[in-house]
Chain A
Amino acid sequence: MTSHFLLLVVFSFFVSLVFGVLLRDDPREQFRTGAAMFGGFIATALVLGWLMYPFPL
Protein backbone atom coordinates (compact mmCIF):
# COMPACT_ATOMS: atom_id res chain seq x y z
CA MET A 1 0.00 0.00 0.00
CA THR A 2 2.67 2.49 -0.99
CA SER A 3 1.15 3.73 -4.25
CA HIS A 4 0.65 7.45 -3.80
CA PHE A 5 -2.07 7.49 -6.42
CA LEU A 6 -3.99 4.64 -4.77
CA LEU A 7 -3.78 6.41 -1.42
CA LEU A 8 -5.05 9.58 -3.07
CA VAL A 9 -7.99 7.64 -4.50
CA VAL A 10 -8.82 6.05 -1.13
CA PHE A 11 -8.59 9.40 0.67
CA SER A 12 -10.75 11.09 -1.97
CA PHE A 13 -13.30 8.30 -1.70
CA PHE A 14 -13.72 8.67 2.06
CA VAL A 15 -13.88 12.47 2.02
CA SER A 16 -16.30 12.56 -0.94
CA LEU A 17 -18.50 9.91 0.66
CA VAL A 18 -18.80 11.81 3.95
CA PHE A 19 -19.33 15.21 2.30
CA GLY A 20 -21.84 13.85 -0.21
CA VAL A 21 -23.92 12.28 2.54
CA LEU A 22 -23.50 15.26 4.85
CA LEU A 23 -24.47 17.96 2.37
CA ARG A 24 -27.48 16.36 0.67
CA ASP A 25 -30.56 14.55 1.90
CA ASP A 26 -31.74 12.76 -1.22
CA PRO A 27 -29.70 9.61 -1.99
CA ARG A 28 -29.46 10.44 -5.69
CA GLU A 29 -28.21 13.96 -4.89
CA GLN A 30 -25.79 12.50 -2.37
CA PHE A 31 -24.36 10.21 -5.03
CA ARG A 32 -24.11 13.04 -7.54
CA THR A 33 -22.38 15.40 -5.10
CA GLY A 34 -20.01 12.68 -3.88
CA ALA A 35 -19.13 11.61 -7.41
CA ALA A 36 -18.51 15.20 -8.51
CA MET A 37 -16.31 15.81 -5.50
CA PHE A 38 -14.42 12.56 -6.05
CA GLY A 39 -13.83 13.42 -9.71
CA GLY A 40 -12.72 16.90 -8.71
CA PHE A 41 -10.20 15.52 -6.24
CA ILE A 42 -8.67 13.16 -8.79
CA ALA A 43 -8.67 15.68 -11.65
CA THR A 44 -7.15 18.43 -9.48
CA ALA A 45 -4.43 16.09 -8.22
CA LEU A 46 -3.54 15.00 -11.76
CA VAL A 47 -3.48 18.57 -13.08
CA LEU A 48 -1.39 19.83 -10.14
CA GLY A 49 0.92 16.84 -10.51
CA TRP A 50 1.58 17.65 -14.16
CA LEU A 51 1.98 21.37 -13.40
CA MET A 52 4.62 20.54 -10.80
CA TYR A 53 6.37 18.05 -13.07
CA PRO A 54 8.95 20.51 -14.51
CA PHE A 55 10.06 21.71 -11.09
CA PRO A 56 12.92 19.93 -9.35
CA LEU A 57 12.51 18.80 -5.73
Chain B
Amino acid sequence: MKKIIGISALLVFICLVTWLKAPNFATAYNIQNVVRWSSLFGIVSIGVSFVIITGGIDLSIGSVIGLTGCLLPYLLVQSGFSVPAAIVAVLAVSLLIGLIHGLLITKLRLQPFVVTLCGLLIYRGFIRWLTDDRTQGFGTSYDGVRVMAIGKLSIGSIGIPMPFVILVFVAILAAFFLNNTIYGRYLLAIGRNEEAARYSGINTDRMKIIAYVICALLSGLGGILFALDVNSVQPSGQGNFYELYAIAAAVLGGCSLRGGEGSILGVIIGATVMRVLYNSINIMGLPTQLEFAIIGLVILAGVIADELIRRYAAGRRAIQAAAQLKSDAAPAASPALTKAEPAK
Protein backbone atom coordinates (compact mmCIF):
# COMPACT_ATOMS: atom_id res chain seq x y z
CA MET B 1 0.00 0.00 0.00
CA LYS B 2 2.85 2.37 0.87
CA LYS B 3 4.40 1.65 -2.48
CA ILE B 4 1.22 2.62 -4.27
CA ILE B 5 1.05 5.90 -2.35
CA GLY B 6 4.66 6.61 -3.25
CA ILE B 7 4.29 5.91 -6.94
CA SER B 8 1.00 7.84 -7.05
CA ALA B 9 2.75 10.82 -5.49
CA LEU B 10 5.42 10.59 -8.19
CA LEU B 11 2.71 10.51 -10.86
CA VAL B 12 0.90 13.53 -9.43
CA PHE B 13 4.21 15.38 -9.15
CA ILE B 14 5.12 14.77 -12.78
CA CYS B 15 1.64 15.77 -13.93
CA LEU B 16 1.72 19.01 -11.90
CA VAL B 17 5.17 20.02 -13.11
CA THR B 18 4.21 19.33 -16.72
CA TRP B 19 0.92 21.16 -16.36
CA LEU B 20 2.60 24.22 -14.87
CA LYS B 21 5.29 24.30 -17.56
CA ALA B 22 3.00 23.39 -20.43
CA PRO B 23 -0.66 24.21 -19.81
CA ASN B 24 -1.84 22.31 -22.89
CA PHE B 25 -0.93 19.11 -21.01
CA ALA B 26 -4.41 19.37 -19.51
CA THR B 27 -6.34 19.61 -22.75
CA ALA B 28 -8.98 16.96 -23.21
CA TYR B 29 -7.25 15.76 -26.35
CA ASN B 30 -3.88 15.30 -24.68
CA ILE B 31 -5.32 13.66 -21.61
CA GLN B 32 -7.30 11.23 -23.71
CA ASN B 33 -4.16 10.38 -25.63
CA VAL B 34 -2.13 9.79 -22.49
CA VAL B 35 -4.89 7.69 -20.95
CA ARG B 36 -5.23 5.61 -24.12
CA TRP B 37 -1.54 4.83 -24.37
CA SER B 38 -1.12 4.33 -20.64
CA SER B 39 -3.94 1.82 -20.80
CA LEU B 40 -2.32 -0.10 -23.64
CA PHE B 41 0.98 -0.30 -21.77
CA GLY B 42 -0.89 -1.04 -18.56
CA ILE B 43 -2.45 -4.15 -20.08
CA VAL B 44 0.94 -5.45 -21.19
CA SER B 45 2.58 -4.58 -17.86
CA ILE B 46 -0.06 -6.51 -15.92
CA GLY B 47 0.91 -9.52 -18.00
CA VAL B 48 4.59 -9.32 -17.25
CA SER B 49 3.97 -8.66 -13.57
CA PHE B 50 2.54 -12.17 -13.22
CA VAL B 51 5.76 -13.60 -14.59
CA ILE B 52 7.88 -11.30 -12.41
CA ILE B 53 5.88 -12.33 -9.32
CA THR B 54 6.95 -15.95 -9.87
CA GLY B 55 10.55 -14.75 -10.00
CA GLY B 56 10.77 -15.08 -13.79
CA ILE B 57 11.12 -12.62 -16.63
CA ASP B 58 9.68 -12.30 -20.14
CA LEU B 59 11.82 -10.49 -22.69
CA SER B 60 9.76 -11.54 -25.70
CA ILE B 61 6.83 -9.18 -25.07
CA GLY B 62 7.85 -6.60 -27.68
CA SER B 63 8.24 -9.25 -30.33
CA VAL B 64 4.94 -10.86 -29.41
CA ILE B 65 3.34 -7.41 -29.79
CA GLY B 66 5.03 -7.08 -33.17
CA LEU B 67 4.00 -10.57 -34.22
CA THR B 68 0.37 -10.29 -33.18
CA GLY B 69 0.16 -6.70 -34.40
CA CYS B 70 1.24 -7.71 -37.90
CA LEU B 71 -0.54 -11.04 -37.90
CA LEU B 72 -3.99 -9.54 -37.31
CA PRO B 73 -4.01 -7.25 -40.37
CA TYR B 74 -2.19 -9.93 -42.35
CA LEU B 75 -4.86 -12.52 -41.60
CA LEU B 76 -7.69 -10.06 -42.22
CA VAL B 77 -6.38 -8.39 -45.36
CA GLN B 78 -4.16 -10.99 -47.00
CA SER B 79 -5.69 -14.27 -45.87
CA GLY B 80 -9.31 -13.13 -45.80
CA PHE B 81 -10.11 -14.29 -42.25
CA SER B 82 -13.30 -12.98 -40.67
CA VAL B 83 -12.78 -10.55 -37.80
CA PRO B 84 -13.66 -12.96 -34.96
CA ALA B 85 -11.65 -15.76 -36.56
CA ALA B 86 -8.61 -13.53 -36.96
CA ILE B 87 -8.75 -12.29 -33.37
CA VAL B 88 -9.21 -15.81 -32.02
CA ALA B 89 -6.33 -17.04 -34.19
CA VAL B 90 -4.01 -14.28 -33.00
CA LEU B 91 -4.87 -14.86 -29.35
CA ALA B 92 -4.39 -18.59 -29.88
CA VAL B 93 -0.91 -17.92 -31.23
CA SER B 94 -0.13 -15.82 -28.14
CA LEU B 95 -1.43 -18.52 -25.86
CA LEU B 96 0.69 -21.09 -27.64
CA ILE B 97 3.77 -18.91 -27.27
CA GLY B 98 3.17 -18.57 -23.53
CA LEU B 99 2.59 -22.29 -23.23
CA ILE B 100 5.85 -23.08 -25.01
CA HIS B 101 7.76 -20.61 -22.82
CA GLY B 102 6.25 -22.15 -19.71
CA LEU B 103 6.92 -25.72 -20.76
CA LEU B 104 10.53 -25.02 -21.68
CA ILE B 105 11.10 -23.20 -18.40
CA THR B 106 9.42 -25.75 -16.14
CA LYS B 107 9.85 -29.11 -17.82
CA LEU B 108 13.27 -28.60 -19.41
CA ARG B 109 14.38 -26.29 -16.57
CA LEU B 110 15.74 -23.68 -18.98
CA GLN B 111 16.29 -20.18 -17.64
CA PRO B 112 13.42 -17.74 -18.33
CA PHE B 113 15.88 -15.10 -19.48
CA VAL B 114 17.30 -17.39 -22.16
CA VAL B 115 13.99 -18.85 -23.32
CA THR B 116 12.29 -15.50 -23.75
CA LEU B 117 15.40 -13.86 -25.23
CA CYS B 118 15.31 -16.51 -27.94
CA GLY B 119 11.59 -15.84 -28.27
CA LEU B 120 12.34 -12.16 -28.79
CA LEU B 121 14.56 -13.01 -31.75
CA ILE B 122 12.42 -15.81 -33.19
CA TYR B 123 9.03 -14.03 -33.31
CA ARG B 124 10.53 -10.85 -34.73
CA GLY B 125 12.36 -12.78 -37.43
CA PHE B 126 9.34 -14.87 -38.24
CA ILE B 127 6.93 -11.97 -38.73
CA ARG B 128 9.43 -10.03 -40.81
CA TRP B 129 9.82 -13.05 -43.06
CA LEU B 130 6.07 -13.75 -43.25
CA THR B 131 5.21 -10.17 -44.21
CA ASP B 132 8.34 -9.70 -46.26
CA ASP B 133 9.02 -6.69 -44.04
CA ARG B 134 6.10 -4.84 -45.64
CA THR B 135 4.07 -2.49 -43.49
CA GLN B 136 0.72 -4.00 -42.51
CA GLY B 137 -2.50 -2.01 -42.09
CA PHE B 138 -6.23 -2.36 -41.88
CA GLY B 139 -7.05 0.29 -44.50
CA THR B 140 -10.44 1.85 -44.00
CA SER B 141 -12.59 -1.25 -44.11
CA TYR B 142 -12.08 -2.30 -40.49
CA ASP B 143 -13.00 0.88 -38.64
CA GLY B 144 -15.61 -1.11 -36.73
CA VAL B 145 -12.87 -3.17 -35.11
CA ARG B 146 -10.56 -0.23 -34.62
CA VAL B 147 -13.13 1.25 -32.24
CA MET B 148 -11.63 -1.11 -29.65
CA ALA B 149 -8.46 0.95 -29.69
CA ILE B 150 -9.39 4.44 -30.89
CA GLY B 151 -13.04 4.61 -29.89
CA LYS B 152 -14.49 6.29 -26.85
CA LEU B 153 -17.14 5.36 -24.40
CA SER B 154 -19.16 8.52 -23.83
CA ILE B 155 -20.44 9.16 -20.34
CA GLY B 156 -22.12 12.54 -20.41
CA SER B 157 -19.65 14.95 -21.92
CA ILE B 158 -16.62 12.84 -21.03
CA GLY B 159 -15.24 10.45 -23.62
CA ILE B 160 -13.44 7.53 -22.06
CA PRO B 161 -10.97 5.87 -24.44
CA MET B 162 -11.91 2.25 -25.12
CA PRO B 163 -8.47 0.85 -24.14
CA PHE B 164 -9.06 2.27 -20.67
CA VAL B 165 -12.32 0.37 -20.44
CA ILE B 166 -10.52 -2.79 -21.51
CA LEU B 167 -7.72 -2.10 -19.00
CA VAL B 168 -10.19 -1.70 -16.14
CA PHE B 169 -11.79 -5.00 -17.09
CA VAL B 170 -8.42 -6.79 -17.32
CA ALA B 171 -7.15 -5.17 -14.12
CA ILE B 172 -10.18 -6.18 -12.07
CA LEU B 173 -9.84 -9.76 -13.28
CA ALA B 174 -6.09 -9.79 -12.67
CA ALA B 175 -6.31 -8.23 -9.22
CA PHE B 176 -9.02 -10.66 -8.20
CA PHE B 177 -6.98 -13.57 -9.49
CA LEU B 178 -3.85 -12.44 -7.67
CA ASN B 179 -5.37 -11.44 -4.34
CA ASN B 180 -8.49 -13.49 -3.91
CA THR B 181 -7.82 -16.89 -5.40
CA ILE B 182 -5.64 -19.70 -4.17
CA TYR B 183 -3.75 -19.49 -7.48
CA GLY B 184 -2.65 -15.94 -6.76
CA ARG B 185 -1.42 -17.06 -3.35
CA TYR B 186 0.45 -19.92 -5.02
CA LEU B 187 2.14 -17.52 -7.46
CA LEU B 188 3.28 -15.30 -4.59
CA ALA B 189 4.51 -18.33 -2.66
CA ILE B 190 6.45 -19.64 -5.65
CA GLY B 191 8.09 -16.24 -6.09
CA ARG B 192 9.24 -16.25 -2.47
CA ASN B 193 10.44 -19.82 -2.21
CA GLU B 194 9.68 -22.25 -4.98
CA GLU B 195 11.12 -25.26 -3.19
CA ALA B 196 9.04 -24.73 -0.08
CA ALA B 197 5.98 -24.19 -2.26
CA ARG B 198 6.61 -27.56 -3.89
CA TYR B 199 7.06 -29.21 -0.49
CA SER B 200 3.69 -27.74 0.47
CA GLY B 201 2.02 -29.60 -2.37
CA ILE B 202 1.68 -26.76 -4.84
CA ASN B 203 1.88 -27.70 -8.50
CA THR B 204 4.63 -25.19 -9.14
CA ASP B 205 5.18 -26.13 -12.77
CA ARG B 206 1.54 -25.61 -13.64
CA MET B 207 1.39 -22.27 -11.87
CA LYS B 208 4.49 -21.00 -13.63
CA ILE B 209 3.15 -22.10 -17.00
CA ILE B 210 -0.07 -20.22 -16.22
CA ALA B 211 1.96 -17.10 -15.46
CA TYR B 212 3.75 -17.24 -18.81
CA VAL B 213 0.48 -17.90 -20.61
CA ILE B 214 -1.17 -14.90 -18.94
CA CYS B 215 1.81 -12.77 -19.91
CA ALA B 216 1.80 -13.88 -23.55
CA LEU B 217 -1.99 -13.59 -23.83
CA LEU B 218 -1.99 -10.03 -22.51
CA SER B 219 0.94 -9.21 -24.80
CA GLY B 220 -1.13 -10.57 -27.68
CA LEU B 221 -4.15 -8.51 -26.63
CA GLY B 222 -1.87 -5.50 -26.31
CA GLY B 223 -0.41 -6.25 -29.72
CA ILE B 224 -3.87 -6.29 -31.29
CA LEU B 225 -4.82 -3.00 -29.65
CA PHE B 226 -1.53 -1.28 -30.51
CA ALA B 227 -1.96 -2.36 -34.15
CA LEU B 228 -5.57 -1.18 -34.28
CA ASP B 229 -4.44 2.12 -32.80
CA VAL B 230 -1.65 2.94 -35.24
CA ASN B 231 -3.16 1.23 -38.32
CA SER B 232 0.21 1.07 -40.01
CA VAL B 233 2.28 -1.68 -38.47
CA GLN B 234 5.93 -2.15 -39.31
CA PRO B 235 7.10 -5.74 -38.82
CA SER B 236 10.62 -4.63 -37.95
CA GLY B 237 9.71 -1.93 -35.48
CA GLN B 238 6.32 -2.57 -33.90
CA GLY B 239 6.71 -3.17 -30.17
CA ASN B 240 10.48 -2.81 -30.00
CA PHE B 241 11.58 -2.19 -26.39
CA TYR B 242 8.04 -2.62 -25.10
CA GLU B 243 9.17 -5.52 -22.89
CA LEU B 244 11.53 -3.12 -21.15
CA TYR B 245 8.79 -0.52 -20.68
CA ALA B 246 6.56 -3.21 -19.24
CA ILE B 247 9.22 -4.55 -16.89
CA ALA B 248 10.11 -1.02 -15.77
CA ALA B 249 6.45 -0.26 -15.12
CA ALA B 250 6.11 -3.44 -13.07
CA VAL B 251 9.20 -2.61 -11.02
CA LEU B 252 8.08 0.99 -10.51
CA GLY B 253 4.72 -0.36 -9.44
CA GLY B 254 6.18 -2.46 -6.66
CA CYS B 255 7.14 -5.79 -8.19
CA SER B 256 10.43 -7.21 -7.00
CA LEU B 257 12.52 -8.94 -9.65
CA ARG B 258 13.35 -11.49 -6.94
CA GLY B 259 9.72 -12.50 -7.09
CA GLY B 260 6.90 -12.79 -4.59
CA GLU B 261 5.78 -9.17 -4.55
CA GLY B 262 3.52 -7.07 -6.69
CA SER B 263 0.18 -5.34 -6.95
CA ILE B 264 -1.90 -4.80 -10.06
CA LEU B 265 -2.87 -1.22 -9.19
CA GLY B 266 0.77 -0.34 -8.61
CA VAL B 267 1.77 -1.77 -11.97
CA ILE B 268 -0.91 0.24 -13.77
CA ILE B 269 0.23 3.43 -12.07
CA GLY B 270 3.81 2.48 -12.97
CA ALA B 271 2.85 2.16 -16.63
CA THR B 272 1.06 5.50 -16.44
CA VAL B 273 4.16 7.19 -15.01
CA MET B 274 6.14 5.92 -17.98
CA ARG B 275 3.66 7.28 -20.50
CA VAL B 276 3.15 10.60 -18.74
CA LEU B 277 6.90 11.09 -18.65
CA TYR B 278 7.12 10.39 -22.34
CA ASN B 279 4.27 12.80 -22.98
CA SER B 280 5.71 15.55 -20.83
CA ILE B 281 9.09 15.34 -22.53
CA ASN B 282 7.29 15.96 -25.82
CA ILE B 283 4.88 18.58 -24.60
CA MET B 284 7.44 20.58 -22.63
CA GLY B 285 9.63 20.68 -25.71
CA LEU B 286 12.58 18.84 -24.16
CA PRO B 287 14.93 17.30 -26.72
CA THR B 288 13.36 13.92 -27.60
CA GLN B 289 16.83 12.45 -27.89
CA LEU B 290 16.95 12.65 -24.09
CA GLU B 291 13.77 10.60 -23.75
CA PHE B 292 15.40 7.33 -22.69
CA ALA B 293 17.82 9.06 -20.36
CA ILE B 294 15.06 10.95 -18.56
CA ILE B 295 12.83 7.90 -18.20
CA GLY B 296 15.79 5.91 -16.93
CA LEU B 297 16.73 8.55 -14.38
CA VAL B 298 13.19 8.90 -13.06
CA ILE B 299 12.83 5.13 -12.62
CA LEU B 300 16.18 4.96 -10.87
CA ALA B 301 15.22 7.82 -8.56
CA GLY B 302 11.92 6.11 -7.80
CA VAL B 303 13.58 2.82 -6.97
CA ILE B 304 16.20 4.50 -4.79
CA ALA B 305 13.55 6.49 -2.92
CA ASP B 306 11.57 3.32 -2.38
CA GLU B 307 14.58 1.50 -0.96
CA LEU B 308 15.43 4.38 1.38
CA ILE B 309 11.86 4.63 2.63
CA ARG B 310 11.80 0.88 3.17
CA ARG B 311 14.95 1.02 5.30
CA TYR B 312 13.69 3.97 7.27
CA ALA B 313 10.41 2.17 7.95
CA ALA B 314 12.26 -1.01 8.99
CA GLY B 315 14.36 1.00 11.42
CA ARG B 316 11.31 2.66 12.92
CA ARG B 317 9.55 -0.68 13.25
CA ALA B 318 12.53 -1.98 15.18
CA ILE B 319 12.41 0.94 17.59
CA GLN B 320 8.65 0.63 18.05
CA ALA B 321 8.92 -3.09 18.65
CA ALA B 322 11.63 -2.54 21.23
CA ALA B 323 9.50 0.06 22.97
CA GLN B 324 6.58 -2.35 23.00
CA LEU B 325 8.79 -5.06 24.47
CA LYS B 326 9.85 -2.73 27.23
CA SER B 327 6.31 -1.66 28.00
CA ASP B 328 5.00 -5.17 28.49
CA ALA B 329 7.91 -6.16 30.66
CA ALA B 330 6.30 -9.32 31.95
CA PRO B 331 5.02 -11.12 28.86
CA ALA B 332 2.20 -13.50 29.70
CA ALA B 333 2.48 -17.21 29.11
CA SER B 334 0.92 -17.03 25.67
CA PRO B 335 1.64 -13.84 23.76
CA ALA B 336 -0.05 -15.35 20.70
CA LEU B 337 -3.27 -13.84 19.49
CA THR B 338 -2.73 -10.56 21.25
CA LYS B 339 -3.36 -7.27 19.57
CA ALA B 340 -2.20 -7.07 16.01
CA GLU B 341 0.38 -4.52 15.01
CA PRO B 342 -0.14 -3.36 11.43
CA ALA B 343 2.04 -5.72 9.43
CA LYS B 344 2.60 -3.70 6.27
Q: Do A and B bind each other?
A: no
